[in-house]
Every structure is written in structure tokens, then in C-alpha cells.
Homo-oligomer: A and B are copies of this chain.
């Protein structure tokens, strides 16, 4: 047929590397209410500050000058009062900065896309931990990188060793240092310092994904890589650390508001990327987030920490009770995930298929979080969405399934 387009022949050479996320595909299954889900990285919607958000919307849309601003085009940098709030927030985290160091993004996911766009030429190497956040790999994949791994606690060794063999320019390092997705583990201060040494030696940017930083249940807070770098001397404009923050885990993900805090030189480039990609984040959403964060951020975090730590406890207790010998798991001090290691002969993807079919339990198989082919016997278990009863019941079902497979 003349002119009938062959889509596969029409795509850019980056497209074959862009693959669907297993996590996002799983969201479809989660609509089925009888499934107990430990998949996703989903906050409990019962804990959203719905009243505060509703009041903020009503106030803004009820005042004509505010309403007109909220519904109109706005600047790509983001809503100034929200950027000012973030400056204060970053200062509380040990990071001195100004509004020129802050740009608003549609969640931290969009920050990762922009940073991939700005740093990765095809064939460049991105340094990531193994495992790492799947969504970061998805964002970066569109820019056709190779990957090399850095150890979560042994940062420095692997990357330097692999610098020559992989070839190509090392373009960036990416890490989730607090209550990491998918492991729930937190990088020690010593490891963060070694990582800073590594990126300084390589002269590459370090992308610090701080999505879960606020959700610490216990233990001692470790300063962010950005704060540690600034504490060594020098200011944010000379730091190589690019901090990605988000309100998705603290206020509400459905509003899609996050930020990048970094050198003003880089922030200027991110603003250009934002302008070209979608002009700006929804103005109303930024104005609402500013009001809610200003009035309710600390209370909201306290509520989440209280609830999620009980659920973490319930999950750890259920795992101890129901998992057969040969299964181990992390003990996170915060965040949303426990990472379990099954015996080497159990495949996480096969277990998921069986768990959905026979046990009506969902989780995320581990292999997708690795760029080096490992992780087949790992699984990620989320405890922020299910309540304690569901956790006990779901882990019980899963434990029996694993025991049967042994």
C-alpha cells in the first residue's frame, strides 16, 4: 500500500533501547483489589494531606489574581515562592544555596530525564550501583549510554578498575544514598566520601537521588552527598553534586512536583531542557505545593514515618516468621522497601508469576534493577501501601510459596 508508514523503520536509533518498565506494567495488576501488593513504590493515599491540598486549591482558585496566575503559563524555572521554600529546606539539610540553584521538575523522574539529556552522549558510560532505581535506567536509556557499576559501600574500586575496558567517556554517576530503591539500604558517610573522591577524580557529576531522604524511622541521619561536599569547602556553584528532590514521597505524587538543586551553571541548562520539553510544571500544582509544604511538611513527614515504620516492623516480623531458611533480607532504617535474597535456584520473575496466580501477592522481581545481569534471585517488597494485616497475610502466603519451591 503506497505511503503506509512502517513505524519500526521510522524510529530514531535510540528507540530500541527504550523498554517498558516492569514496575509500571505491574500497576495495571494492582487495580485488582484482591491482590496484596508489595510492588510499586506507592505512598499510602490514606495519608495524603488531602484537606490541606483541598484548602490550598480553594484559596488559590477562589482569589481571582491568584487563580489567573495558577492557570496561566509561567516561567520554566518554577514558581518563585516554592523555589524559596526549597532553598530553606535545603539549608535545613546542610546545603547553602540560593534560588538560582533550584529548578522545579515534574517529579524527580523528570530531573533524571533532563540530566540524562544534558550529560549522556550515545556510547558514554553512566556509573550506577547494582541494583539501582529502574526508573533512572529508563530515563538514561533514551540517551544510549553504556553502564558500569559502582559499589554501594565500595564506591571507587569498580569504576576506576573498569574505566579503560568499557571504553567511552564516563559521563555521570548516579546513586540513591538513603533507603535506596530497591534495597532500602543507606550508604554510610564513609562510602559517600569515597564516592565524592571518585567523582572528583573522574571529574564527572554525581547525581544524588534523594527521593526517600525524609523518611528516616530511626538511626542517625547521614548528610547528603551534596551537604558533605559543601562541608569540605567550596560552595554549591563549584560542587559536582546534582541533588534531585521530590514531594512525591512526602506530600503527594499525583501533583508531580520535584526539584533539582545544583550549581547555577547546570541549573541554567536544566531550565533550557525544561523549556524545550514541556515549558514549565503546572502552575497551580506548584502554588498548591508551596502552601502545603509551608504549613504541613514536618507534620506530614512525622505521620508518614510513624505509619511506615510500623509497617516496616510488621514486614520484618512477618519475614522472620514465614520465610524458610535460605532467604535473607535487608533491615531498612527508613523508606519504603525491603530487599530479599532468595536461594540461588529460585527465580524472582517465575516466583512472581506463581505468586500472582496462586497466592494473589505481587512484588517486583530483582533482575530489572541490575545492569549487569545479576539479581535473578532477588525481590523487592514494598511496605508503604499495605497495612500490617495485609503485610502479615501476604508475606505468609509468599513464604509458603517460597518454601514449596525449595
Residue ranges of A at the interface with B (Cβ–Cβ < 8 Å): 1-7, 9-15, 18-21, 24, 27-28, 40, 42-43, 45-46, 48, 50, 53-54, 57-58, 61-62, 64, 67-76, 105-107, 109-110, 113, 117-122, 124, 135, 138-139, 141-143, 171, 197, 199-201, 203-205, 234, 238-240, 248, 252-256, 263, 265-266, 269, 272-273, 275-285
Would A109 and B278 count as touching, CB distance under 8 A?
yes
Q: List, in ascending order, chain B residues with CB within 8 A of A205's CB.
A: 5, 10
Q: List, in ascending order, chain B residues with CB within 8 A of A275's CB.
A: 20-21, 24, 138
Q: List, in ascending order, chain B residues with CB within 8 A of A248's CB.
A: 73
- Which residue from chain B places its CB closest to the CB of A284 in the assembled complex? B254
Q: List, in ascending order, chain B residues with CB within 8 A of A45's CB.
A: 68-69, 71-72
Q: List, in ascending order, chain B residues with CB within 8 A of A234's CB.
A: 1, 4
Q: List, in ascending order, chain B residues with CB within 8 A of A138's CB.
A: 275-276
Shortest CB-to-CB span from A366 to chain B, Å, is 20
Would A118 and B12 count as touching, CB distance under 8 A?
yes
Q: List, in ascending order, chain B residues with CB within 8 A of A113's CB.
A: 276-278
Given contacts A3-B201, A138-B275, A282 and B266 within 8 Å (CB-CB): no
Report the Cα distance A13→B266, complex, angstroms: 15
- Which residue from chain B places its CB closest to the CB of A120 in the assembled complex? B12
Shortest CB-to-CB span from A61 to chain B, Å, is 4
Q: Which of the residues B13, B24, B197 comes within 8 Å of A75, measured between beta carbons?
A: B24
Report the Cα distance A171→B1, complex, angstroms: 20
Shortest CB-to-CB span from A292 to chain B, Å, is 11
Would A200 and B3 count as touching, CB distance under 8 A?
yes
Shortest CB-to-CB span from A251 to chain B, Å, is 8
- Which residue from chain B places its CB closest to the CB of A248 in the assembled complex? B73
Q: List, in ascending order, chain B residues with CB within 8 A of A278's CB.
A: 105-107, 109-110, 113, 256, 278
Q: Which of the residues B9, B14, B252, B265 comes within 8 Å of A71, measured between beta carbons?
A: B252
Report the Cα distance A334→B67, complex, angstroms: 26
24 of the cross-chain contacts (CB-CB < 8 Å) are A1-B234, A3-B201, A4-B234, A4-B238, A5-B203, A5-B204, A5-B240, A6-B203, A11-B269, A12-B117, A18-B269, A19-B272, A24-B75, A27-B75, A42-B73, A43-B72, A45-B72, A71-B255, A73-B253, A73-B254, A109-B276, A138-B276, A256-B278, A256-B279
Report the Cα distance A281→B284, complex, angstroms: 13
Q: List, in ascending order, chain B residues with CB within 8 A of A139's CB.
A: 276-277
Q: List, in ascending order, chain B residues with CB within 8 A of A43's CB.
A: 72
Q: List, in ascending order, chain B residues with CB within 8 A of A284's CB.
A: 254-255, 285
Q: Which of the residues B20, B40, B117, B280 comes within 8 Å of A14, measured between beta carbons?
A: B117
Report the Cα distance A9→B205, complex, angstroms: 11
Q: List, in ascending order, chain B residues with CB within 8 A of A110's CB.
A: 277-278
Would B142 and A20 count as touching, CB distance under 8 A?
no
Report the Cα distance A7→B115, complex, angstroms: 12
Would B142 and A276 count as touching, CB distance under 8 A?
yes
- Which residue from chain B places its CB closest to the CB of A238 in the assembled complex? B4
Would B279 and A109 count as touching, CB distance under 8 A?
yes
Report the Cα distance A1→B11, complex, angstroms: 44
Would A107 and B279 count as touching, CB distance under 8 A?
yes
